[in-house]
Amino acid sequence: MRLDYLTIFPEFFDVLGISLLGKAVDNGIVDIHAHDLRTWTHDRHRTVDDTPCGGGAGMVMKPDPWGEAFDDLLGADPDPSVHVVIPTPSGTPFRQDDAAQLSHADRIVFCCGRYEGIDHRVIDYASEHWSVHELSLGDYVLNGGEVAALAMTEAIVRLVPGVLGNPESLSEESYSQDQEGLLEYPVYTRPASWRGWDVPEVLMSGHHGHIAQWRREQSRELTRRRRPDLLTDE
C-alpha cells in the first residue's frame, strides 16, 4: 500500500515512521510519501491561498497547486483504484467500515486542507479521475486536515495484514463485526487487587463461558449507556 500526503506541513507525517506504522514501512508493507504542496507553486511567496469568491472571512486554497501535484503524483489517466481522501468537517463520518474498505486500497492520497478549505473544483476534478472520499473525523473543526489524516491512517493501516503482531485482537475491538458493533467491554490485568479495587471475580474464575457472557453483558450495558445509537434491536 502506498500512502501520499499533500500538505503545507509535511513534517506532520514524520511521526508515521514511529512504532507500528514504522515497522510496516520497514517491512515494505506500507510506503509513505509526504509532499509539501508549495512544491507546486511558482511565485516568490509560494502562495497556496487566495480570498474567497463571493466574499466571506478567511482564505481558500487555490486549485492550481493541487492540480499540478495530482499531475505529478497520479498523472492524468483516470484510475478508480486510486483513493483520494479529503479530511473535512463537511465530510461523511469516517467509520470503522471506511477504514476496513480503505485498508484494501493499493494507493491512497490524503489531501490536507487548511484555511477555510480547498477550491471545490479540485474535488470536482479529482472525482472525474479517482475515487474521492470527503470524510469527517468528527463534528468539530481543526485548523487543517493533517491530524485527521494521521488518525485515519492509523485506523486504516492497522487493518492491513501483517501490520499488527496479533490480528486476533482486531476481532474483539469496539465497532468490529465480531463485537456485533458494540463498545468494547472493560479490560483488566494483574494485580488482582489494586488500591482497593479488585478484578471482577468472573475474570479470575477460568470459566470461559461465564467470562464470555459477562463480557457480552458489559458491552451491551456500556453501549446502551454511551452509544444507544449503535444498538440496532432497540
Ligand X SMILES: COc1cc(COC(=O)c2cn[nH]c2)cc(-c2cccnc2)c1
Would you list which residues are annotated within the binding site for S-adenosyl-L-methionine? 113, 137-142
Distance CA 152, CA 12 (A): 14
Q: Is 7 a residue that touches ligand X (CB under 6 A)?
A: no
Q: How many CA atoms lie within 13 A of 78 on its CB side?
A: 7
Instruction: Choose, by CB under 6 A, the member of 118, 126, 150, 157 that binds ligand X.
Output: 118
Q: How far is the CB of 168 from ligand X (least distance, A)?
A: 31
Distance CA 211, CA 142 (A): 41
Q: Is 87 a residue that touches ligand X (CB under 6 A)?
A: yes
Q: Which three cell numbers stand for residue 217?
A: 453483558
Q: How far is the CB of 76 from ligand X (least distance, A)?
A: 23
Q: Is 153 a residue that touches ligand X (CB under 6 A)?
A: no
Q: How far is CA 44 from the centre of its chain?
A: 34
Q: How far is the CB of 59 from ligand X (least distance, A)?
A: 10
Q: Is 59 a residue that touches ligand X (CB under 6 A)?
A: no
Q: Is 138 a residue that touches ligand X (CB under 6 A)?
A: yes
Q: State the residue for C-alpha cell 511565485.
A: 43
Kind of pairing between the strands at 49-50 and 60-61: antiparallel
Q: State the residue for C-alpha cell 510506503.
A: 31
Instruction: Choose, by CB under 6 A, the member of 105, 144, 199, 216 that binds ligand X.
Output: 144
Q: Is 63 a residue that touches ligand X (CB under 6 A)?
A: no
Span of 82-90, 167-175, 188-196, 199-207 interacting with ligand X by CB under 6 A: 82-90
Q: How far is CA 83 from the centre of its chain?
A: 13
Largest distance between two CA atoms of the chain: 71
Q: Which residues lie near ligand X (CB under 6 A)?
A: 86-89, 113, 116-118, 136-138, 140-142, 144-145, 148
